[in-house]
Structures are given as C-alpha cells and as structure tokens.
Amino acid sequence: MKFMPLNLIKPIVVLLVTLTSAVFFVFQSPQTQNPSSSLSTMSSSSSSSSSVGRSFVLWLHGLGDSGPANEPIKNLFTSPQFRNTKWLFPSAPNGPVTCNYGHVMPSWFDIHEIPITADSPQDESGLLKAVKNVHATIDKEIADGTNPNNVFICGFSQGGALTLASVLLYPKTLGGGAVFSGWVPFNSSSSIIGQITPEAKRTPLLWSHGIIDRTVLFEAGQAGPPFLEKIGVGCEFKAYPGLAHSISNEELRNLESWIKTRLQSSS
C-alpha cells in the first residue's frame, strides 16, 4: 500500500478505511453486547468480583476515527475481573493533518507523512498538548478513587503513539500502557526523554504490531522496544504475521490476559 503524494484523497481514504475495517472486525465477535452507558459513565460492578479493585481503561483511537466507533471493544473483555472496570473512549479534536494535505479530521496531533517509518518527522508540540489532556483524564480518575496501578492506557496507531508518550510522561507508575500499531512519537535527542521519571519507567508496556502493516510500517513498531530499552524502559513486543494496519481479536484477547495479570486487589 503505497502513499501517493499526487492524489489528495488517497492517503485519507487509505487510513480511514483501514481503521474502520479494524473496528468492524472486532464488532463481529459473537461476544459483542450493546453498550448502554455514555462515554463519561461507562463503569459497572459486581459483588462476585469484589476482590479486584476498581480499574480504568482509557482507549485512544487512530487518525480520522472516533471514540464511540471503538466502544464495542470493551464487550470482548468478559472476564469477571473487568466487572469493576470503567472504560472511556474519547474522540480526538478536529485539526488539519499535513500528510493529508491539510485536510481537517479527528487527530490527536499532526502527522507529517504516510507511511510512517522509524525516521518520520514528529509533531512534538502537538503531542505534548494531547498528552496534557490525557493526563488530566488520568488525574481525575485517580482523584475519584482508582488506584494508579489499576489505570491502563491503550491506543491504536496515532492513539498508540499518544499512549506511549502519555504513559512515559506521567509522574506515577500506572497499571500499564498498550500500544497497537503505533510508533515512538519523539526522537532520541528530544527533551521529552529527560522528563521521564523513574516511576514512569516502571509502568509495564505491551506493544503489538502487524508484520504487513503498510501505514505504520512494521519497522517503526519494531524500533520501539530497543529505543525504550536505551532509556531504561522495558517493553513486551508481539509481532502478528499476516496482520496489516488493523486490530485483531487475537491481539485483544492477549490484552485482556495481560491486564488481568496486573490488576491489583481492592485490599
């Protein structure tokens, strides 16, 4: 899937279609249920899961997508441990995107080129503004009583890049950060690295990437863990053969297991 700079529409269509197909693939799970809560009140509880403390999962979508379109993802997490989980699927603000010739679309920060490689230019100022908003959401959830160790940030594509930056720049250790088909949104000389606290370096990271991804190249994802290792951050990396720029049910099942092993008890 090549990026064609002479075609104004193609890069937009390619990215939106792949993101939509990822969501529809998830929708087709036989375990899908109808969401019944709004974005700000998506939580449920059960006495049978009282041993597991309240938890929070923030899901950040990709370029051109929306939060509500991703809500059915939560219905795949059927384990009892998630009965005390609050889910939040915010939508990115609209803004001009350079790789799409300034076309205005939902975007957490600017993206300069597609496909994204390990050496693509970054919009660090826009990234930091988005990180500030993510941190405000986390702060509110912790203030409402959620243990930071039960806070998980997850994101796909651009949302995955934002997830990584948000977790690394948060001053406390969180339950975990999960990056799907994302990339490191800053370079090795960035001042961002100096802002990463020892507590943030202890937050577990899961990185999943499709080997045949032609939007965020596999090389961009594969370069993430070694980059993080150099700055003292551990990361579990999983490659998915045959997977393009989308999310598979296998990835989400693995995420469910990964989060379950990290949830803290209420005591």
The one catalytic residue in 107, 208, 245, 248 is 245
pLDDT at 14: 37
pLDDT at 266: 61
The one catalytic residue in 61, 208, 213, 248 is 213
Give 24-79 pLDDT, tens digit per residue. Answer: 333 223 333 333 333 333 333 333 344 568 999 999 999 999 999 999 999 999 99
Give 146-201 pLDDT, tens digit per residue. Answer: 999 999 999 999 999 999 999 999 999 999 999 999 999 999 889 999 999 999 99
Q: Please enumerate in sequence order all residues whose Cβ is within 8 A of that of 73, keeping only pairs 6 or more positions apart, or say none.
A: 23, 26, 59, 89, 247, 252
Q: Residue 115 pLDDT more than 80?
A: yes
CB of 180 closer than 8 Å to CB of 208: yes
CB of 184 closer than 8 Å to CB of 195: no
Question: Distance between CA 28 and CA 140 in Å, rounded?
Answer: 33
CB of 77 closer than 8 Å to CB of 33: no
The one catalytic residue in 157, 166, 181, 246 is 157
Q: 65 an active-site residue?
A: no
pLDDT at 154: 98
State mean pLDDT over 112-129: 97
Backbone angles phi, psi at 175, to 5 degrees: -65, -35
Give 21-30 pLDDT, tens digit per residue. Answer: 343 333 223 3
Q: Which carries the bigger pLDDT value, residue 53 or residue 234?
A: 234
State mean pLDDT over 128-156: 98
What is the identity of the amino acid at 266? S
Give 91-101 pLDDT, tens digit per residue. Answer: 999 999 999 99
pLDDT at 265: 78
Question: Distance between CA 54 and CA 62 in Å, rounded?
Answer: 27
Question: Distance between CA 31 and CA 69 in Å, rounded?
Answer: 17
pLDDT at 31: 33
Q: 213 an active-site residue?
A: yes
Beta strands in 65-150 (DSSP E): 85-88, 94-97, 103-106
Q: Which carries the bigger pLDDT value, residue 36 or residue 104?
A: 104
Question: Distance between CA 237 and CA 239 in Å, rounded?
Answer: 7
pLDDT at 264: 86
Structural domains of the chain ordered from first start: 55-261 (3.40.50.1820)
What is the identity of the amino acid at 112? H
Q: Residue 207 pLDDT more than 50?
A: yes
Of 162, 177, 158, 179, whose CA–CA distance to 222 is shortest? 179
Question: Distance between CA 244 and CA 257 in Å, rounded?
Answer: 23
